[in-house]
Every structure is written in C-alpha cells, then in structure tokens.
Homo-oligomer: A and B are copies of this chain.
C-alpha cells in the first residue's frame, strides 16, 4: 500500500473513525485503525465492537489530493498514528507499507517508521441484511438525540435503560429514554414507503452510540439513512457508515407514566427558569439531599434551596402565566437543568398533578411531540 494525501482531509476522517476506538478494549487489534487503499480511494475503519465507524475518502474529490500509488491495507495504532499525522511538518503526507507491516509515514524531511498489523486479522464489520432504510433529516435527528439521551440511565443494573427506545410506526418516529426517575420523549414525522407504514419497527439503541453518532454528523449533510436489522443499526451518510449494536430485551411501557391531566400549569421562559434553578442548586449541591423546592401560589411563585451547613437561597420567579391549584413540591435540580437545556430559548409549560406524582415540561407551542418528565422527591 502506498498513497499520498492532503493531511487536513486525512485528519478529518481519522478523527471521525477514532470516535469508535476505545483504549480499554480487550481485543488488541481494535486499538488500531484499519486503512484500506483501492483504486476508488481510502477506507478507514475503527471499532470498539459495540460501535464501528467506516469513512471513505474518494480519489475523485480533488480537495483530498489523494493519489493511490499501490493498493493494499494495514492496521495502525490509532492514538499514536493520529498524533503523528497531526504534527507532520507539511500539508501533504505519504504513507507506504514496507515489509513485515512496517509503515513509513513521510512529510517534508520528517519520516516515521512504525509497526503495523496485518489488516486480515481485523474483525469483520456487522452484516446488514436488509434493503429497507429510513431517511432522516440530520439537524432534526441530532435534536432528537440531544433531547432524549439526557434521560438514559448510567447504571448497568438495568442495561436496557442505558438505551433510547426508537419506535417507527404510522409514519412517525418516537424516541423515548428513561432512567426511572425522569423521562424524555420526542416524536418526529418520518417519510416511509407504503410497505414500511404498515409495519412497526422497535429498537433500543445504546445512548452512548447515539451520542457518538451525533458528534460525527456534521451539520452540512442534510440527510442520513437508517437501516435496522435484528441486532444492528446502520446510519449512512455520503462518506461514512456508522454501525451500532442494539440492546436486546423489552423496553418498559412508558406511555402509562405520562400523566394526561394536570392540576396546575405554569409557563416560563426556559432560559430564565434555568438561571434561577442554577442559582438554587448551588446550595443544594453542598448538602446531603440535593433538592430544590418550588412553591406556586396565586400571588407568588418561588423556588428555594437549603443546606443546613452552608445556608439557604430563595428567589421569586418570573413566570409568563399560571393557572390551577396552589402546589409545593421538591425535585432534583440536576434533572430540571438537564431538561430545561433541551428546550433552548423557547417558552415552556410545566404541568403538575400532585406533589408526589411526576410532572411534565412541554413547549408552550406544540405540546404533543416533546415531553420531559421528572419525578418529584418526597421530602416528608
């Protein structure tokens, strides 16, 4: 294998592939990046066996200045190899595989010879045995990921809750995540074929995979293809394939958790409420029980936090409207902050039913497709 390439183009592809590579893998060859050169271009692959990312750099795109002088393949230690590529002195570089998988990397008068591994020993990527695919708008899908992954569980005690449940049916994609204390749910419309519309697809994608996927998706690409098999999902963009294993098992039925009535409704600007929650949580973080209390009365709405060792805080809140019963309840301010951040600048409604039942946050406009739910903390 021998090729020359523009370093910046190569680095971008390397960075994407590296997202899949973990230094803590138990399979030594997976600390490496597989590089395959053929007439059409270069294919880079990285994997931690849960996630695999494959990027392609075509010779046809002149911006890459890619010339394949000799086809072939090699596996190079990822972290180390990227460091070398980053620090090379010139804009162009050459890579050549010598005998015994030794690989020569040159740029200007600098040359590195590093030990590579036989690419034939690199694990095969999952086989995606379906032709069915869904087309998702990149921007909207990244939003869905950002809004739901906040609620995945980080504990391995119930592995199924470390994923986001995605259900496609009736021309809609519903994404939901819960760690059993809070829940995030987002619904978006989906263009499906007539055949797909009559079927139901139900998968649980590891939250970690979705977070990495969102990071690799650049906002310039407009759509992404999603293909689902029994135990794998593949996301395809023009020059990248992103594979993730699926979580096996049944996702809990979350519909019944979402209250469908409310006793108190209050409207805030999400950003201004977030500021107040951040202040109130400064003190609760110091104490043993991390809770903030909200009190809604007809004439005043306030939050307060208290940490006996340090002190207490209270703030009258600016709200846009309020209706229903007076209520007072306590919640984990970290859950509230995570939830509020997913709304950006918009105005939101918070709907309470009782001090011991979950309450929900929805956008003031369009309150059907996006819900954040938080379970209060009992303090009595």
Interface string of A298-334 (1 = CB under 8 A from B): 0000000000011111111110000000000000000
List CB contacts (< 8 Å) of A261-290 with chain B. 275-276, 278-279, 282-283, 286
Q: Which residues of B contact A312 (CB under 8 A)?
A: 112-113
A84 within 8 A of B: yes
Cβ contacts under 8 Å, A112 to chain B: 279, 282-283, 311-313
Contact of A83 among B88, B102, B111, B282 (CB under 8 A): B282
Nearest Cβ distance between residue A235 and chain B, in whole angstroms? 33
A127 within 8 A of partner (CB):
no
- For the complex, is A115 an interface residue (Cβ under 8 Å from B)? yes
- How many angstroms from the CA of A110 to the CA of B77 in the assembled complex? 54
Chain A: how many interface residues by the 8 Å CB criterion?
Answer: 33
Q: A87 at interface (Cβ–Cβ under 8 A)?
A: yes
Copies in the complex: 2
User: Whole-angstrom distance from the CB of A14 to the nearest CB of chain B?
Assistant: 15
Q: Is the CB of A314 within 8 A of B111?
A: yes
Provide the bound-state CA to CA distance between A111 and B279, in Å.
Answer: 10
Contact A276 B311, beta carbon cutoff 8 Å: no
Interface assignment of A189: CB less than 8 Å from any CB of chain B: no
Complex Cα–Cα for A276 and B115 (A): 21
| Given A80-B286, A109-B316, A316-B109, CB of A279 within 8 Å of CB of B311 | no
Residues in B whose Cβ lies below 8 Å from that of A316: 109
Interface set of A (CB-CB < 8 Å, partner B): 77, 80, 83-84, 87-89, 102-103, 109-115, 275-276, 278-279, 282-283, 286, 309-318
Q: Can you list the 7 inter-chain pairs with the closest CB atoms, starting with the nearest?
A: A114-B311, A109-B316, A110-B315, A112-B313, A113-B311, A87-B279, A113-B312
Question: Contacts A109-B318, A112-B313, A113-B311 given; 20 further ones with Cβ under 8 A?
Answer: A80-B282, A80-B310, A87-B278, A87-B279, A87-B282, A89-B275, A89-B279, A102-B311, A103-B311, A109-B315, A109-B317, A110-B276, A110-B313, A110-B314, A111-B315, A112-B282, A112-B311, A114-B283, A114-B310, A115-B310
